[in-house]
Structure 1
Amino acid sequence: MLERLEIHNYALIEDSVIEFPDGFTVITGETGAGKSIILGALSLLLGEKTEVQSIRSGQESATVRASFALDPPYPPNLAAYLEREGISLGNESLIVSRTIKNNGRSSISLQGRLSSRTELAAISKELLDISAQRDHQSLLSAANQLAVLDVYGNCDEERRAYRSAYESYLGLKDELVKKKQQLEQSQKEEDFLRFAVEEIARIDPKAGEDEEIAEQVRVIASYEQIHESLSSAIGALHGGEVGTSALASLSLAGSEISNAAKADQSLSVYVSRLESAAIEIEDIYESIRDYRSSMSYSEEELDRLQGRLASLQRLKKKYGHTLEAVCSFYQESQSRLNLTEEQEIWLSKLEKQIASAADLVTSKALVLSQKRQKAAQRLSSQVEQKLRTLGMKEAAFSITFTQIQPGPQGIDEVSYDICANPGLEMRSIKDVASGGELSRIMLAVKTSLAESDAVPTLIFDEVDAGIGGSVALSVADQLMNLSRSHQVIVITHLASIASKADTHLVVHKEIRDQMSYSLIRRVEEEERQKEIARMLSGDDSSSESLGHAKKLLQTGRS
């Protein structure tokens, strides 16, 4: 609940600290005293946009701070924030603060941590709800109307089941979109890939083949040069006249050294070495001779090899810088072509899964909708009965359903409709309800939801607009009943409502040194009796007014 509100330099309030106990609290005061300033301050904590004009004249900034006493389990948005920030409230209160500066900037803190206006709004709306004339009237929002109905109808289980089916359905649809995009891209490439695969398969390149063929082409193209050089080498090794070939020269040198070795045995080693050299030269000679004999020149083979090499070069130019890259591209292209076929099969299966998921969504949505419609009948009847006790005796209230495409909340769009006067058609409350009527509708709904509504603090303004007498007493009774399950704060002009409250706060205005100040104080006993007397007749000193006020207070406490 809201336990403390601090307002500094906001509008006519310089420094005020307001303590809010549990139960039923009323705020009263003469017109223009500053009651609406309190609502304005609270609206800042609900994430409303700031206005520098609301800063007290002569000041650089205004600050509104509130503390909320909460027991776990905490509301969802607050629980998520505390976990994310690593904050444990323990026995502490939640402190919410907002400062606006005259340069138009503002700062927000939650439990001492800087926060955003969006985060503030998400958390504070779980803590308090303001029903004021066209300000923060959550009942006007179609989404909130549906949420109210779900709370009243205890539809949590059905909503979770539907949401699970709906999210699975969305997930499959997202996957289908991605698969279609992949398939579309693959189909665009399919003709190119098929041509590439067929071209590469027809040529059938092997890694390193281009280098081998290039070498063969170089050899064949140099046939005459090689043949002539080999012939000259053969002649040098084993041809010509004695003494002109290498082998003949070695033989001659061997004979001469052998003769010399007869006289000098130390020369025998050179004879052996020359014999070994002659054997090696003979082997080289025979190998070169055989190689020359095996050589052949074919113009057709040269053309074939050059054509093959040109084909390989084209493949490298189109599909990779090397034949290894070409072969890799070939394998990848085959896989992508196979994937296209697999994708088409998978796409068909996925579409069947989506159809099945859509059927499940529809089924869960209908279950949820049926429970909502039953709850709507009960809530409509209950609200209508309460409205009749709140001065709207001829009012007819209903909740109208419109079926829409499945969305996050189901297939239902609801409208809270009312006919305040006989003979008129039912229309949405946002279009026809006055501020006072809307507050009474809110009151009727809130009292109907008293056992299940999670928002702990309810603030009403203009709830007494256009009513009096027995209707005002009935409104007071409804507020008293609501305060048994919620903290209820009401700004009122009616003594019959104020007299029923557990706590009475009075706002009054003072002028000091030609400056206006709004002050808030708690009144009890005689001071409260005088305030009730003022509300009754505008005179807080006459014995009649005081007597009537005393009687009202005694009745209210009984």
Structure 2
Amino acid sequence: MLTQLYIQNIAVIEKTSIEFQPGFNIFTGETGAGKSILIDAISAVLGFRTSRDLIRTGADKAIVTALFDHLSQDTIDALTGFGYEPEEDGTLLLSRELTTEGKNTCKIGGRPATVSILREVADTLINIHGQHDNQALMVSEKHIKFIDSFADVDELLTRYKELYTQLLNIKRELEKCNIDEAEKAYRIDLLTYQIDEITDADLKTDEEEELIAQKKRIGNAAKIVASIAEADIALNGDDETEGLVATLSTAKDAITTAGRYFTDLEEMAARIDEIYYELREYASDIHSYTADLEFNEGDINRIEMRLDMIYKLKQKYGTSVEEILSFLKKATEELSSINQSDELQHKLNVQLAHLTRNAQKLAEELSERRNRAAAQFTSAVGEELKFLDMPFVRLEVKNDVGELSNDGIDNMEFMISTNPGEPPKSLSKIASGGELSRIMLSLKNVIADKDQVGTLIFDEIDTGVSGRAAQKIGQKLKQVSKGRQIICVTHLAQVACYANHHLLIEKNVRNNRTYTEVRALSSIERVQEIARIIGGADITDTVLKNAEEMLNLAQKQS
């Protein structure tokens, strides 16, 4: 049961804390006071999809927290399944924070949680029924969901859907096998060419990087060889040029000869002689380098051709050698699959037949349980409708059994007859807005008996009704609230007067800012609010007496 709701910076609500009571809680207020915002805030803390636009203008973040007690076993099981647990006093706090930057923080019992976990836990705590639910009745494809909820076939339906998913996967595999012969021949030729081209290339994973490195080294080696060759010619000469060593030898001999006659040159001759032998040694070493660093022009051509081939393969099959090899693997597998398609097709057909038999068996079991439940469901809904002043409305479930589909073999649609003797017709074609509201309330009440959800929220479920029908809705909500907590947003006095706890939503303007506040009404204030709903702006003594009489009568009937 929801005991407290705290809202901060949600739309026009700056800050408010709302206390809820067991039984029947009602919200009323002027049009535009913010009743829908209250439902948006509750939806947010329950993990429903929300928007940053919900954050109050000028605020950085919005916060909603909800405190629950008297937790059901379903809630406790959901909590423990995700690794959470209630507080020692048996309560549970859910919270959600939204920021203008888009950050979304959820907590369960003070511990971080994801939105999806928050939603799954919240689904065991509260069910929200709004005006949009009435529209679900207008879509026949959604009717089967009501029957499934009543029939309690979740486990069976899950098993069926798992089989049906496998069945669809097998069908898709068969479609791949069932390509026509011309297409098959084309694919075989193409794949064979692609596989041969890549296989013949004999690629290695790191080959491209190694080739680029070799090319760089060879390129540098060529420069070295050229430079050393130039130095060798300068020192040792060639066929056309006398090198520096020979020139220095000539100079050395000439100075030595001159030194025999001119003693001052003897020292110089000795020094030149030393330089000559040192230079000749260097020249010999440099000449040997030219032999050791021979450059093969064919090596660079081989590398260039290999890199060019890899480049062309990358243009066809991927942006790297790894991707080319991955393409080769897939192409080989596809070719093998095509070549073995007859064998594979036979295997898949056997699996398909097996899955179809099992799925058909489960679908028929599901259909049988749905049909049994449909009879009980329509009977229970009929009793609800009688109470809601629709004694002649008869609800039936039309089931057009068909082929296997995601929901089984059933195509269920609600049909109603609104007057005795009239054949049932499609609900979506003949029901009025007021009838839809009461039919939806009846459906929800019947389904609610099947779960342990402690709180039901009705957002203007009384739309389109008035008078005695509205009073009946109030009585029904009061009746249901004896077994669980009811929170209802209404605009009808006939509904509001049956509540145990009346909350007023009112909008005020202060300093050119709009503020929505929520407060519990005293007995006197409650009479005045019921009178406002009845009489509008002009609240006379007669209207006040009528409001007081309505409240007293509702309490006596309760």
Alignment partner of 1:32 is 2:29 = no
8 Å contact 2:68–2:91 — kept in the other structure? no
Partner of 2:4: 4
**Post-superposition shift, 1:355?**
1.2
User: How many residues are matched?
Assistant: 408
Instruction: Please report how far the alpha carbon of residue 48 of structure 1 lies from its aligned counterpart in structure 2 after TM superposition.
Output: 3.3
Q: How does 1:138-149 map to 2 (within 5 A)?
A: 145-149=143-147
Q: Which residue of 1 aligns with 2:48?
A: 47
Q: What is the one-letter code of the residue matched to 1:93?
A: L
Q: Which residue does the alignment assign to 1:88?
A: 85
Q: 2:486 & 2:38 partners in 1: Cα distance?
A: 15
Structure with the greater alpha carbon radius of gyration: 1
CA distance in 1 between partners of 2:158 and 2:523 (Å): 51
Deviations 1:368-406 (A, max 9, x none): 112212322332343244334424455443333344542
Change (3 A) 1:27 1:137: farther
For 2:503, the equivalent position in structure 1 comes to 505
Q: Which residue of 1 aligns with 2:20?
A: 20
Secondary structure of the 1:134 match is: helix
Paired residue secondary structure (1:412): coil
State the Cα RMSD in Å.
4.3
The residue number in structure 2 matching 1:109 is 106
Q: 1:100 to 1:540 in 2, by over 3 A?
A: farther
* Structure 1 gap ranges (5+): 197-336
Amino acid aligned to 2:98: T
Say whether the 8 Å CA contact 1:390–1:440 is kept in structure 2: yes
CA distance in 1, matches of 2:336, 2:469: 79
Q: Quick one: distance in 2 between partners of 1:476 and 1:425?
A: 28
SS of corresponding position for 1:449: helix
Confirm or deny that 1:159 pairs with 2:157. Answer: yes
Counting only pairs closer than 5 Å after superposition, residues 151-550 of structure 1 correspond to structure 2 as 151-156=149-154, 158-159=156-157, 162-163=160-161, 165-166=163-164, 169=167, 188=188, 348=346, 351-392=349-390, 395-418=393-416, 426-429=425-428, 436-538=434-536, 539=539, 544-545=545-546, 547-550=548-551
Shift of the 342–547 alpha-carbon distance from structure 1 to 2, 3 Å rule, reads closer
Q: Could you say which residue in structure 1 is the equivalent of 2:242?
A: none
Q: Secondary structure at the match of 1:88?
A: coil
User: In 2 relative to 1, CA 158–352 (structure 1 residues): closer, same or farther, beyond 3 Å?
Assistant: same
Q: Provide TM-score, normalisation by structure 1.
A: 0.60
Q: Secondary structure at the match of 2:40?
A: helix
Q: Secondary structure at the match of 1:411?
A: coil
State the distance in 2 between where 1:446 and 1:425 align.
Answer: 21
Cα distance in 1 for partners of 2:63, 2:336 equals 67
- In the alignment, does 2:108 pair up with 1:73? no
Compute the displacement of 1:15 (Å): 0.8
Structure-1 separation of matches of 2:493 and 2:9: 30
Secondary structure in structure 1 of the residue aligned to 2:374: helix
Q: Pick which of 476-485 and 440-449 moved more.
A: 476-485
After superposition, the Cα gap between the structure-2 partners of 1:418 and 1:338, relative to the gap in structure 1 and judged at 3 Å, is closer
The SS at the match of 2:27 is: strand
- Deviation of the 1:362 alpha carbon: 1.0
SS at match of 1:459: strand
Note if contact 1:133-1:436 (Cα within 8 Å) is conserved in structure 2: no
Residues 437 and 114 of structure 1, relative CA distance in 2, 3 Å threshold = farther
- Cα 1:40–1:359 change in 2 (3 A) is same
Equivalent AA in structure 2 for residue 6 of structure 1 = Y
Distance 1:118 1:128 in 2: 15
- Provide the rounded CA distance (Å) in 1 between the counterparts of 2:401 and 2:51: 38
Structure 2: give runs of 5+ residues left out of the alignment: 197-334
How far apart in 2 are the matches of 1:139 and 1:458?
A: 19
Change in Cα spacing, 1:139 to 1:47, as seen in structure 2 (3 Å) is farther
Instruction: Find the partner of 1:131 among 129, 132, 147.
Output: 129
Q: Please report the TM-score for the alignment, with normalisation by the length of structure 2.
A: 0.60
Q: Rate the CA distance shift 1:16–1:133 in 2: closer, same or farther, 3 A.
A: same
Amino acid of the residue matched to residue 88 of structure 1?
E
The answer to whether the Cα contact below 8 Å between 2:531 and 2:546 also exists between their aligned partners in 1 is yes
Q: Deviations over 1:36-66 (max 9, x none)?
A: 22122223345234152x4334333333332
Q: Distance in 1 between matches of 2:487 and 2:384?
A: 20
CA contact (8 A) 2:67 2:91 kept: no
Please tell me whether the aligned partners of residues 537 and 545 of structure 1 are also in contact (alpha carbons under 8 angstroms).
no
Q: Distance in 2 between matches of 1:37 and 1:417?
A: 35
